[in-house]
Every structure is written in C-alpha cells, then in structure tokens.
Chains A and B, each alone.
Chain A
Amino acid sequence: MSQTAAVEAAETPLTPESWGKTGMWLFLSGDAMSFGTLLAGYAIMRANSTNWPNPSEALGISLTAFMTFLLICSSLSMVKALDAIKHGEKEKFKKFMLMTIGGGIIFVGLQAYEWNHLIHGANLGLTENPFGAPLFGTTFYMITGFHGLHVTGGVIYLTCVLIAAGKRGYTTDCFNLVENVGLYWHFVDLVWILVFTFLYLL
C-alpha cells in the first residue's frame, strides 16, 4: 500500500471504501448482535415477569436524560471533528475531538455516580432489589455496564486517534482514522438511544 491520500485507496474492487472502514462496519455489526441479544433477552424476561417494576419510577430518568443529551452533543462534536480534519482545520479538529472525549468522560463519571447511588442508596443489587423482580437488577447492570465499557473503550480509542493524528501533523491523511473512530462513537450513541428507551422509559 503505497498511496496515502486523504482517503485510502481501495485495496480491491470489492471494497471501494478503505478496508478499515469495511472492517469497522463488520465489527459494529457483530457488536450490534451482542447488544441486540442482550436487549432481546431483557425484553423476553420482562414480558414473562409478573412483578417487573416501572423502571422510570425505580431508576429515575432526569440524570439519564441529561446523559443522553451529553452523548448526542458528543456525536455532534464528533462529526464536526471529522468535517474539520477533512478540510485540514487543525485547531478546530483538536477542539472538537477534545469536546467529544470530554463528553465521554463525563458520561462514564455520571454512570458511576448513578450506579453508586443505586447500589448503596436504593439497594438495587445484581440478584435482589426492593422494587420487584430480581432480574430487573441483573439486566440493568449487565446492559448499562456493557454499554459503559464501550464508552470507556471509546474514550481510549478517541484519545489514541487524537495522539496518532497529532504525530501525523493533523493532516487530511488522518481522515480515515477519524472516520472509523467516528463510526464507533456514533454506534455507542445509537445503542444508548435504544438502551435509554428500553431500560429507563418503557
């Protein structure tokens, strides 16, 4: 691979986009299966439970509504960062990447705060809770924990891309690198949109 243009050349006619991008979509597809089966399992357990609590009352939704807002904002800053690197606007790129990373860090922090509150304040455990069905806690921690790990991984990935782009002088050559991390980050946002609806609101 000798070409390092703004957009990587296609390796084969089968993948007109870069291999990295195709690979990222394949990875996200598999990851969507993980979240999909977790949510499907949650739906089945809940549908068959006679004492499933009303989540919006047991968990509270004001904090998570703000966390949703935060992730939507960080998705916006992510596309702005991609737009900036495409046009070679270094300062703008750095600013928007740092905003995205900051959004992710605050999200994880708020999730830790929420878990702490639920574990110690509301006695919501993995196998028992005062609200009703024991599986309520199991599915809640499993799904939000799995998503939280994705956000943590995303923050690390974004930081690595920012450093790597810095080493390359924030040139338009970094477009693919940023596009791929952007896809991952938007996916995490997309999953949270579904998690927020199914776990907190419904």
Chain B
Amino acid sequence: MATESHDDHQVNYISIFWWLLALTILEVFAGMPETSLQYPQALKGFLLVGMALIKAALVALYFMHLRFDRKALSFIAFIPLVLCVYVVLMVMPDF
C-alpha cells in the first residue's frame, strides 16, 4: 500500500525539533525591539520572513511527511500559496 512507504523513511524528528527551536531563538533575537532597531528594517524583514518560511517548510516536509508522500498532496498544499500571492497582487493597487 502506498502510504506504507513512510516506513522506509525514518525521519529524525528530534533533529527537526532542534532546528525549529534554534530558528525560533534566532527569530526572537532578530525581532526584539532591543536589537531590531539597530539594523535596517528591510534586512530585518528579509531575515524574519526567510526564517519563518524555512520553519514552515520543515514542519510541512517532515512533520507532515510531504517530502515522502505523493506529489499530488504537495500540489494541493501549494495551491493556497499561489492564490494568496495573487490576492495580494490584485488588492494592492486599490490602496
């Protein structure tokens, strides 16, 4: 059965957890008022959004098993991302 192929991929969940924790600590450090005002806000935005996307990807790929599941499920998960970018692009000119 298709979903039993999970058994072949033993993910080290603890190491994913440590990565998530380390990125959260870095994010808090980069975003707290004491440090975040010391460097350009554009750099702050880039760093924070980058780290958040990496964390979200780690959760989706490993905890939610998307990396080992059928590509169709990744496709289903990807559609809202595209649509949300589309929403922003469509609404932005109205302001």
A binds B: yes
Please tell me which one of the listed residues A16, A26, A41, A187 contacts residue B3 in the complex, with CB atoms under 8 A apart: A16
Please tell me which stretch of A68-76, A111-119, A140-148, A158-166 contacts chain B, meaning at least 4 of its Cβ atoms lie within 8 angstroms of it. Answer: A68-76
What residues of chain B lie closer than 8 Å to A10, measured between beta carbons? 1-2
Chain B, interface size category, equals: 35 or more
Residues of A within 8 A of B7 (CB): 86
B43 at the interface (CB under 8 A from A): no
A197 touches B3 (CB 8 A): no
Number of residue pairs A-B, CB distance < 8 angstroms? 136
- How many residues does chain A have at the interface if contact means C-beta atoms less than 8 Å apart? 57
SS class, residues of chain A in contact with chain B:
helix
Known contacts A40-B91, A197-B48, A201-B31; A5 and B63 CB within 8 A of each other: no
CA distance A39 to B7 in the complex (A): 36
- Bound CA–CA A79/B56 (angstroms): 16
Query: Which residues of chain B come closer than 8 Å to A83, judged between CB atoms?
Result: 13
When C-beta atoms are compared, the residue in chain B nearest to A36 turns out to be B84
Q: How far is the CB of B78 from chain A (nearest CB, A)?
A: 9
Q: Counting CB contacts under 8 A, is A200 at the interface?
A: yes
Cβ contacts A to B, 28 pairs, < 8 Å: A7-B3, A10-B1, A17-B70, A21-B73, A25-B76, A32-B84, A36-B80, A36-B81, A36-B84, A36-B87, A37-B87, A39-B84, A44-B88, A47-B95, A54-B33, A65-B28, A68-B24, A72-B20, A75-B20, A83-B13, A179-B3, A182-B64, A190-B56, A194-B56, A200-B31, A201-B30, A202-B45, A202-B48
A interface, CB within 8 angstroms of B:
5-7, 9-10, 16-18, 21-22, 25-26, 28-30, 32-33, 36-37, 39-41, 43-44, 47-48, 54, 56-57, 61, 65, 68-69, 72-73, 75-76, 78-80, 83, 86, 179, 182-183, 186-187, 189-190, 193-194, 196-198, 200-202
